[in-house]
Amino acid sequence: MSTRAEQFLNRPLALGSAKIPNRLAMAPMTRMHSPGGVPGPDVAAYYARRAAAGTGLIITEGTYIGHPTAGESDQVPRFAGTEQLQGWGRVAQEVHAAGAAIMPQLWHIGIQRTAGAPPFTDAPSVGPSGIALDGTTGAGTALTLADIDDLIASFAQAAAQAEHLGFDGVELHGAHGYLIDQFLWQRTNHRTDSYGGDPVSRTRFAADIVEAVREKVSADFPVLLRFSQWKADHYHAQIAPTPEDLDTVLAPLARAGVTAFHASGRRYWEPAFPESDPDLNIAGWAKKVTGLPAITVGSVGLDGVFAPDRLGRSAEVTGIDALLDRLEAEEFDMVAVGRALLADPAWAEKVLSGRGDDLISYTKDAVRTLH
């Protein structure tokens, strides 16, 4: 007899050309285990282990696009360079052999980068207006139109490389106060040209990236876009205070060619706009206003909410009945699991087979092991 989890989670899903065996995705989580930006055999094994245990879609950790301003660690993988791309090709092969689909998350951290940090120490910290997440002006260099063109091209080239390497799609990281999100957020985007001003103009950078990617990849190659209201250390930030505002933000991105939205909330059970609907979460609203598939994420399977100091936080296993209720109601289409899957590579297999008592709690030691 199938479990309720199996009934609603163990169903295939097509996102463009990607055929995903079930509704469980691994959420992207930064690891810093790729010296020189090269994902090695340990990285391939890390993802393949979770794929073999039933996770249907692997969304990789954020991987820097091929632009010197993209990141600030030489331990974070890059999606550019011969050795780096060869490493990613091996990762994709091993995940496919284990039975899952895989998409790299393409990443540029923007103004959150510390100038002078590796891997390219001469690169400046850049953002739409040189304004930090806390509103501090002069925190970095404001991007010129030529800079923007270069960055858009770098995202598109990374997506083309992903398809060439056999990945099943890509995810653009447009959440958590990183570069794409910095354009979307009024606090960090004070531009007076066509990339700033009203909410629609602030979506242009993201939409231009999606369009550029679409020009470089096959017509049905999936392009996911991850977005959030909250930012790093700014949990009450909003790019869209109302459902109407969310429609304003997401509609241009849907028209540009986004396949599905990965809506990042810190607690999947919290309503995004309680004054409009006491239950519907941010992924549910993304699906409602765009009509596109949506992926939910946020403290799935754990009783403690995500925090930046997650290495020092523990969280106990908790049930997912409320999650299954929402999935049954078709509030969203997929579930991305983060810390629970980090701590327990076999999380999907155990949940689908009704072995909840065997799940491993999220602890500091589990995070350090990163097995």
Give Cβ neighbours of residue 306 (< 8 Å, ≥ 6 apart): 266, 298, 299, 338, 339
Residue of 21, 19, 23, 108 whose CA lies nearest to 63:
108
What is the C-alpha separation between 234 and 40, in angstroms, rounded? Answer: 34
What is the signed CA dihedral for 38, 44, 46, 48, rounded to 10 degrees?
Answer: 160
3-class SS of residue 230: strand
Q: For residue 207, what are its two tokens?
A: 């939409």
What is the C-alpha separation between 139 and 147, in angstroms, rounded? Answer: 17
CB 196 within 8 A of CB 202: yes
Size of the chain, expressed as the number of residues it contains = 371
Q: For residue 77, what are its two tokens?
A: 């993988």
Residue from 64, 178, 268, 362 carrying the catalytic annotation: 178
Residue 57 phi, psi (nearest 5): -130, 125
What is the signed CA dihedral for 357, 358, 359, 363, rounded to 10 degrees?
Answer: 110
Residue of 65, 253, 263, 259 whose CA lies nearest to 152:
65
Q: For residue 129, what are its two tokens?
A: 């207006």
Residue 195 known to be catalytic = no
Q: For residue 275, what are its two tokens?
A: 């004054």
Residue of 250, 279, 282, 249 whose CA lies nearest to 265:
282
3-class SS of residue 227: strand
Q: For residue 28, what are its two tokens?
A: 């992207």
Instruction: List, by residue number, the catalytic residues.
Output: 178
